[in-house]
Amino acid sequence: MLRFLTAGESHGKGLVVVVEGLPAGLAITEAEIQGELARRRLGYGRGPRMRFEADAITLLTGIRHGRTLGSPIAIEILNSEWEKKWEEEMSPHPGTPSKVLTQPRPGHADLTGMLKYGFEDARDVLERASARETAARVAAGSLAKALLAQLGVEVLSHVTQLGSVELTLDVPLPTGRDLERIDESSVRCVSSEVEALMVAEIKAAAKVGDSLGGACEVIAHGVPVGLGSHVHWDRRIDGMIAQALMSIQAIKAVAIGDGVEVSHRRGSEAHDAIYWNEDSGEYYRTTDRAGGIEGGMTTGAPLTATAWMKPLASLNRPTLATVDTKSKESVVSFKERTDVTAVPAMGVVAESMVAIVLASESLRKFGGDSVAELVRNHESFKKHLHETPSAIS
């Protein structure tokens, strides 16, 4: 099992992530982690911060000469504006902030967090609620991806909706070979036609100081058969993936495979028929409506999950009514620097969350204190996979 914890505020000194449970002997480079963090900064519609934030990392623990030790891995990501802008406002030492935010933004954690924790300053809530934290998740996700690569699993994503623009073209399911092209697209969309419409939609929203939501599909190819289990509610892998994706800031809906569409169909048109290939000695299917999961277990078919993001609640031109928590007057919320949309970046975060679930469940199923042992166990399972249960020795 893989566990991770993040710590850090958006404008604090930095973020820290601790990843526990990775086996020993996994090759990891700083450049690999930096590469994933750079992918998360992509996307037309991000605010100014993404242009100067470098996500400079320090590998603090758990890696020696480019290989994991099996001990906890801690990674630090420093915030680049700390010294020049935030050191006083976010100081951990006793003192008072120069400005108290008392006009909570509707749709954010601000007001409920103030009430729940007894804070007078919305900044005490928003700093941790911010999606800046997803940089730490992506650092953890890059380790999970490196582990999955040892099992032949690759995880990618693409944007399928931005505001009112949807990718409705019947495009083949993207694979790792398409990833470079997707990342080169300014909105991480596989179709350049649809990309142009999405960019126009972002420009129009930016012009009036508004924000946009959308959706990304995460795809995992090469997933082993049998991750997750039907035996308990909390071992069903679709539930784990839904929770992992829903936990990303501003995600409001998740579907596995054709989850929403199949609810409109009859059963005879909703499932994936099973066939046997005499030559290869393997079961196969010609459709993947189930998104690679049946009965809470991975089937070995590509795993697909879509996450929908609401429009960001921080608006460059706040218009929604709120209440000043001190004077109780009706006002518009305070203004924070923000993105128009973060949907393209969300796909990279969603990949990380799915990778962490798949890596964790791979470790649960195959075990191993070293990567070599994990890979051996996986190979052995695959060798016996298509034999009848009674023949498994």
Q: How far is the CB of 15 from ligand EPS (least distance, A)?
A: 9
Q: How far is the CB of 279 from ligand EPS (least distance, A)?
A: 49
How far is residue 70's CA from residue 240's CA, in Å, rounded to a whole number? 24
**Are the CB atoms for 154 and 144 separated by under 8 Å?**
no
Cβ-based nearer residue to ligand EPS, 10 or 306: 10
Cβ-based nearer residue to ligand EPS, 45 or 291: 45
Q: How far is the CB of 337 from ligand EPS (least distance, A)?
A: 4
Q: How far is the CB of 215 from ligand EPS (least distance, A)?
A: 18
Cβ-based nearer residue to ligand EPS, 248 or 297: 248
Q: How far is the CB of 55 from ligand EPS (least distance, A)?
A: 7
The single-letter code of the amino acid at 240 is M
Cβ-based nearer residue to ligand EPS, 220 or 353: 353
Query: Which ranges in the chain belong to alpha helices (H)?
Result: 30-40, 49-52, 110-117, 123-129, 134-150, 179-184, 192-207, 237-246, 259-262, 343-366, 371-384
How far is residue 347's CA from residue 354's CA, in Å, rounded to a whole number? 10
**368 φ/ψ sector (left φ>0, alpha ψ -120 to 50, else beta):** left
Residues forming a β-bridge with 19: 4, 73
The residues binding ligand EPS (CB under 6 A) are 10, 47, 49-50, 53, 130-132, 134-135, 314, 336-339
Cβ-based nearer residue to ligand EPS, 131 or 216: 131
How far is residue 166's CA from residue 77's CA, in Å, rounded to a whole number? 34
Residue 154, helix vs strand vs coil: strand
- Structure tokens that stand for 333 in this block: 């919320």
Cβ-based nearer residue to ligand EPS, 99 or 337: 337
Q: At 361, give phi and psi (nearest 5°).
A: -70, -30
Q: How far is the CB of 70 from ligand EPS (least distance, A)?
A: 30
Instruction: Indicate the DSSP class of residue 371.
Output: H
Cβ-based nearer residue to ligand EPS, 15 or 151: 15
Chain centroid, CA 285 distance in Å: 28
Cβ-based nearer residue to ligand EPS, 50 or 59: 50
Cβ-based nearer residue to ligand EPS, 8 or 292: 8
**Are the CB atoms for 303 and 245 separated by under 8 Å?**
no
Q: How far is the CB of 134 from ligand EPS (least distance, A)?
A: 6
Q: At 192, give phi and psi (nearest 5°).
A: -70, -30
How far is residue 243's CA from residue 228's CA, in Å, rounded to a whole number? 14
Q: How far is the CB of 44 from ligand EPS (least distance, A)?
A: 14
Chain centroid, CA 146 distance in Å: 16
Q: How far is the CB of 47 from ligand EPS (least distance, A)?
A: 5
How far is residue 271's CA from residue 283's CA, in Å, rounded to a whole number? 15
Count of helix runs (H) and strand runs (E) in the chain: 11, 17
